[in-house]
Amino acid sequence: MQTELLADPQWSGRIFSGGWVRGSGEDIAVTEPATGTLLDRVGSATPADVAKAAEHAAQAQREWAARPHTDRAAVLRRAAALFERHQEEIETWLVRESGAIRLFATFQTLVGGADECHEAAALASAPYGELLRSAQQRLSFARRVPVGVVGVIAPFNAPLILAMRAVAPALALGNAVLLKPDPRTAVSGGVVFARIFEEAGLPDGLLHVLPGGAEVGAALVDDPQVPVIAFTGSTRAGRAVAVAAATRLKRVHLELGGNSALIVCAGVDIEKAAAVGAYGSFNHAGQICMASGRHLVDARIADEYAAALARHADALTVGDPAGGDVAVGPIIDRHQLAGIDAIVRDTVDAGARIAAGGTYEGLFYRPTVLADVPVTSRACAEEIFGPVAPVVPFADLDEAVRLAADSAYGLSLGILTRDVMQGLEVAGRIPSGLVHINDQTVNDEATAPFGGVGDSGTGSRHGGAAANLDAFTEQQWVTVRGDLPDYPF
């Protein structure tokens, strides 16, 4: 009979740092947003715990980097198999702790968990250097070496995939990892990682899971034994991380917010386009950085598209994802919900019309469609991070390009069109880290480079061998001579 991954209560009220130990901070309550039920408690770290973990990790990393790449690959392959074996249990925690519907929980477990580990296992044996020509009589080459200890700070909205895309490749390339999950999702975004890699046979000291607040993240950024930080979260918090890291000359990889445009051209099937747009805006209650935040629609079809989008929104079932087959679960907490509703109200006051939704009960916000949205309104200008689809008409493609590019963000872009070559031409005029022709803006694969520009982050630092090598290794130039050279000194 298969043993549950989290059945042993040893993790309850503890952090993972050289085994399951009591953290120096007060325990964190793990609460189900859909019902308010207390699910369990996890330990809480403090800056003192971070310093101790960094010292332990730095020592363990040297031996890990010296081991054959086949050893590291084997651990990652076993981790992938464990995600698959414990899929249902992990999904249940994602559903209850983060409010994800089962479909999104499955995606995180299999793509964010298993696939990321499979790709990382292959990365361990990837070419890691190149021979260089030299004008002198010597062998000259460049090679990639591990950075040492990687600090990973992950958010609540997709806690498994947004942490594993850094944790897995960092470990595969010979680094140790200090992971700070969001305290609201410290089990699915933290405890699960510790248990998976415990069972996979990762040597002691290479992974530390340190839940906590902003002070723990600040200590991670500040610690001199952590040279690289991979941060996923809001643009505001990312700026603070970047400033702190810069004063310490640390490398920082930022995956931040977005206000991604979905351009809908005339001539498309409006019903299908509305279904695509609804998924882009309402998946995981809009709590996705790549969510379709602005629907820019050809004025000739804007009213018809808004009406179709509203029908799709009204048809979606909202409720507890653990209690039945629902399409949209809860917002993570009341603070986040209040921010969403404030943007909707301010946008209506600015002249927009509510075509669907605009109401909530508890933490459940109805999928909302805003029509006739002024381009200067909050819903058009800001990241909403909720299930809201603002519809803005455009007169021609030049205006669509101007509207799409008129944003500080540059994460993802979707273009729905019957003329795909024209779509590619339009995409080339809009700054964006990701582009999807004839699809919505929320897409992710373990094999693909991922990252945004502008206020959305520092470019593609996750996904694919090239991005991960850049993110978690240093380039080292090496020369070798057969004999000592003659110098005129």
Residue 452 lies in a domain: no
Residues 264 and 250 in one domain: no
**Same domain flag for 428 and 466:** no
Residues with a catalytic annotation lie at: 255, 289
Q: Is 19 left (phi over 0), alpha (psi -120 to 50) or beta?
A: left
Asked whether residue 70 falls in the same domain as residue 93, the answer is yes
Same domain for 132 and 266?
A: no
Please identify every stretch of the chain with a pLDDT value under 70, giving residue numbers as ranges.
Answer: 1-2
119 within some domain: yes
Q: Specify the CATH number for the domain of residue 106.
A: 3.40.605.10
Same domain, yes or no: 283 and 373: yes
Q: What are phi and psi of 21, to 5 degrees?
A: -130, 160
List the domain range (segments joined by +) for residue 274.
260-437
Q: Is 345 within the bounds of a domain?
A: yes
**Structurally, how many domains does the chain consist of?**
2
Task: Specify the pLDDT at position 9.
Answer: 87
301 and 227 in one domain?
no
pLDDT in tens, 233-243: 999 999 999 99
- Claim to verify: residue 371 and residue 466 sit in the same structural domain: no
**Could you report the per-residue pLDDT of 68-104, keeping only the tens digit for each?**
999 999 999 999 999 999 999 999 999 999 999 999 9
Dist CA 170 CA 453 (whole Å): 23
Tell me, yes or no, whether 486 lies in a domain. no
Let me know if residue 461 belongs to a domain.
yes
pLDDT in tens, 347-369: 999 999 999 999 999 999 999 99
Using one digit for the tens of pLDDT, what is the confidence trace for 3-49? Answer: 799 998 899 999 999 999 999 999 999 999 999 999 999 999 999 99
Q: What is the pTM of this model?
A: 0.96
CATH of the domain at 273: 3.40.309.10
Note the pLDDT tens digit of each residue in 280-289: 999 999 999 9
Is residue 489 assigned to a domain? no
Task: Judge residue 454's burial from the number of C-beta atoms within 10 Å of its C-beta, 0-12 exposed, 13-18 middle, 19 or more buried.
Answer: middle
Is 321 contained in some domain? yes
